[in-house]
A and B are shown apart, each in its own frame.
Chain A
Amino acid sequence: MTLPYGAVVLEHFRRPRNQRALERPSAAHEAFNPLCGDRVRIELELHGAAIRAAAFTANACALCTASASLLTDRLVGLAVEAAVRITAAETLAALQTDVPRAREACAVLPLTALKEALRGSEGA
């Protein structure tokens, strides 16, 4: 299978980091794209105001899977406050490839899941 993306996307699609289910996630959210069918679930283990562990499960395209891999790698040890401020632009830049506008939604889907997971954990 040939992918029209760079080495970073290919590496994180073929050997995704943190692709597993956490035993006891304290925050989780599954985001999906209703048309293309990408699905990604981000799970977090929070410890105080920090993220102790982050993992994901995906039935998703290469861009989405690679993005989830890179994002969860970045999250471990990060303050929740900092995680909330991660932007779509940063998420796209992390892929180090030209993401067509029509496919940006795929790459940003894990970030959407992250924000929703953190929103859901507020006050929990």
Chain B
Amino acid sequence: MPDILEQLAALREHETRVAMATLIAARGGSPRPIGAKLFVGEGGRLLGSVSIGGCVDARVVEHGERLLRENRAQRVTVTVDDSEAVELGLACGAEFDLLIEPISLNGTDSAIEAFQTATNISRSGKEAYVITRIPAAGPPARMVSSEPFDATGPDVFVERIAPADTLVLVGASDVGAALARIARGLGMRVVVVDGRERYATRDRFATADEILVGMPSELARPHYKAGTYVVLVGHEYKYDLPVLRDALRAPVRYVGMLAGRKRADSMRGLLRDEGLSAEHIARLHSPIGLDIGGREPEEIALSIAAQLIAVREGKPIAQRG
């Protein structure tokens, strides 16, 4: 899920008021997760979506513009009948419940304050919950909790703001630069580590959250957590070996290394000789990425990003031949 504060910051450059539409319930299937947001700017700009586009989002935009004019919040239900569903690619008709409310981007706004508090908690590595009470009339009221909260009744909506997954990129290569851009768009926190300051630069990694230059294995280690994806794209055994020794033993979500089959097998052999268990070595994804046949850095990065998404979503990944 995109970082809501980053979305609001992007809107603030051009808009002073927006309608924030939040998908709070769906019946009959939804292509977007509950909690998805679409912002409708007073100046006409749109950001995000609550569906896959088409008439659902279009109707939400209309409601958003109306509620901005009326300066009030409303719970809205958008219904898609069967013929529309076919056009949308949905298996059957569906209903979407949305909370649409005006948000002031300049000055104080209680919704922004709640998400600011929750995001600060999640950026510290903990989960946060934004609990929204939706009255029959009047503006919604929000509170933030760092403890799980069970929603009770249709008038309460709970959003879990989880810490972003972290991508640790070892090797500030062109593939790494392309992957950093894609991963940031996927809502991941991106940490770049390399021993070479001419490669690991802000120019090359404009959107990275952290760029660290030094001993790569030591710089990467503090980031090894349950939501961490370690991707080695330097194609340098001098970094790959020491990083893999740690990362494969660490409780990270994913470890992948850019390498051809022969090189990958050689690295596995070296790690085995050093005493790493077969179980640890089996965690290594190498060759990395889904086999889509691309050769350019952007294409390789795309194949890696696709594999990261598959792992995140628990999809089986075929071993590459």
Query: Do A and B associate with each other?
Result: yes
Q: Chain A residues in contact with chain B, CB under 8 A? A: 1, 14, 30, 32, 34-39, 41, 57-61, 64-65
Contact with B218, one of A34, A36, A38, A57 (Cβ below 8 angstroms): A57
B residues 186-236 touching A (CB-CB < 8 Å): 194-199, 214-218, 234, 236
A contact residues around B243 at 8 Å (CB): 59
B contact residues around A37 at 8 Å (CB): 194-196, 199, 234, 236, 238-239
Report yes or no: A35 in contact with B196, Cβ–Cβ below 8 A: yes
Instruction: Please give the distance in Å from B87's CB to the nearest CB on chain A.
Output: 54
Q: How many interface contacts (CB-CB < 8 Å) are there between A and B? A: 50
Report yes or no: A59 in contact with B216, Cβ–Cβ below 8 A: yes
Please report whether the interface of chain B is mostly helix, strand, loop or mixed according to DSSP: helix
Instruction: Please give the distance in Å from B126's CB to the nearest CB on chain A.
Output: 31
Report yes or no: A34 in contact with B197, Cβ–Cβ below 8 A: yes
Q: Does chain A have a CB within 8 A of B273?
A: yes
Report yes or no: B238 in contact with A38, Cβ–Cβ below 8 A: yes
**A-B contact list, 29 entries, CB within 8 Å:** A1-B263, A1-B266, A1-B267, A14-B274, A30-B215, A34-B197, A35-B198, A37-B194, A37-B196, A37-B199, A37-B234, A37-B236, A37-B238, A37-B239, A38-B195, A39-B195, A39-B215, A39-B216, A41-B215, A57-B218, A59-B195, A59-B216, A59-B238, A59-B239, A59-B243, A60-B238, A61-B237, A61-B238, A65-B238
Instruction: Please give the distance in Å from A66's CB to the nearest CB on chain B.
Output: 12
Q: C-beta contact mask, B241-272 vs A, less than 8 Å → 1, else 0?
A: 01100000000000000000001001101100
Instruction: Please give the distance in Å from B316's CB to the nearest CB on chain A.
Output: 30
